[in-house]
A and B are shown apart, each in its own frame.
Chain A
Amino acid sequence: MKVKSKLRLMDGHCYISSGRTAAFLAQRLVFLVLRLAMLLVILVTFYIFYHILSNGIGVISLEFITAMPRKGMTEGGILPAILGTFYITLITALAAFPVGVFTAIFLNEYARKNMFTRLVRLSIRNLAGVPSIVYGLFGVALFVRALALGTSILSAGLTLGLLTLPVTITASEEALKSVPDSYREGALALGATQWQAIRTNVLPSAVPGIMTGLILGLSRAAGETAPILFTGAAFYLPRLPSSLSSQFMALPYHLFILSTQHHAPDKVRPIAYGTALVLLLLVAAMNMTAIMIRARFRKAAARR
Chain B
Amino acid sequence: MENSVKIVTEKLNLYYGNFQALKEVNLEVCSGKVTALIGPSGCGKSTFLRSLNRLNDLIDSVRVEGEVRIDGENIYDKSCDVVRLRKKVGMVFQKANPFPKSIYENVAYGPRIHGVRDKKVLDRIVEKSLREAALWEEVKDNLSRSALRLSGGQQQRLCIARVLAVEPEVVLMDEPTSALDPIATQKIEDLIRALKQKFTIVIVTHNMQQAARVSDITAFFLNGEIVEVGNTGLLFTQPVDQRTEDYITGKFG
State the A residues within 8 Å of B (CB): 112-114, 180, 182-193, 196, 200-201, 204-205, 303-304
Contacts and interface: CB of A to CB of B under 8 A. Distances in A.
Interface stretch (B5-13, B64-72, B88-96, B136-144): B88-96
A192 B149 contact: no
Contacts of B1: none
Interface in B93-108: 93, 95, 97, 99-100
B111 to A, nearest CB: 9
Contacts of B148: 304
B113 A191 contact: yes
A190 B90 contact: yes
A281 B90 CA distance: 54
Complex A-B, nearest 4 residue pairs according to Cβ-Cβ distance, in ascending order: A191-B87, A182-B97, A304-B148, A190-B110
Contact of B86 (A114, A189, A204): A189
A191 B99 contact: no
Given A191-B87, A191-B166, 9 more contacts: A112-B60, A182-B95, A182-B97, A185-B58, A189-B53, A189-B90, A190-B86, A196-B113, A303-B146
Contacts of A205: 100
Which label, helix, strand, loop or mixed, suits the secondary structure of the B interface?
Answer: helix
Given A183-B97, A185-B55, A201-B99, A192 B113 contact: yes
18 contacts: A182-B97, A183-B97, A183-B99, A183-B100, A185-B97, A186-B97, A189-B55, A189-B86, A190-B162, A191-B85, A191-B110, A192-B83, A192-B113, A193-B83, A205-B100, A304-B100, A304-B146, A304-B149
A190 B109 contact: yes
Nearest to A304: B148
Interface string B212-231: 00000000000000000000
B58 A191 contact: no
A190 B129 CA distance: 14
B93 A186 contact: yes
Contacts of B166: 190-191
Interface residues of B, number: 27
A191 B84 contact: yes
B202 interface: no
B198 interface: no
A112 B53 CA distance: 21
B170 to A, nearest CB: 12
B163 interface: yes
Nearest to A112: B60
A188 B89 CA distance: 11
A186 to B, nearest CB: 5
A187 B109 contact: yes
A282 B58 CA distance: 44
Nearest to B163: A190
Nearest to A196: B113
A200 B100 contact: no
A81 B93 CA distance: 57
Contacts of B86: 188-191
Contact of A185 (B93, B100, B113): B93
Nearest to B96: A182
A114 B17 CA distance: 13
Contacts of A182: 93, 95, 97
B146 A186 contact: no
A186 B229 CA distance: 29
B114 interface: yes
Contacts of A200: 109, 113
A25 to B, nearest CB: 46
Contacts of A189: 53, 55, 86, 90-91, 93, 163
B99 A186 contact: yes
Contacts of A187: 99, 109, 113
Nearest to B60: A112
Nearest to B145: A304
Given A112-B60, A113-B60, A304-B149, A191 B114 contact: yes
Nearest to B162: A190
A182 B53 CA distance: 16
Nearest to B81: A191
A141 B237 CA distance: 80
Given A182-B93, A200-B113, A188 B55 contact: yes
Contacts of B55: 185, 188-189
Contacts of B95: 182
Contacts of B85: 191
B109 A191 contact: no
Nearest to A193: B83
A204 to B, nearest CB: 8
B87 A190 contact: yes
A220 to B, nearest CB: 31
Nearest to B166: A190
B32 to A, nearest CB: 22
Contacts of B60: 112-114
B154 to A, nearest CB: 14
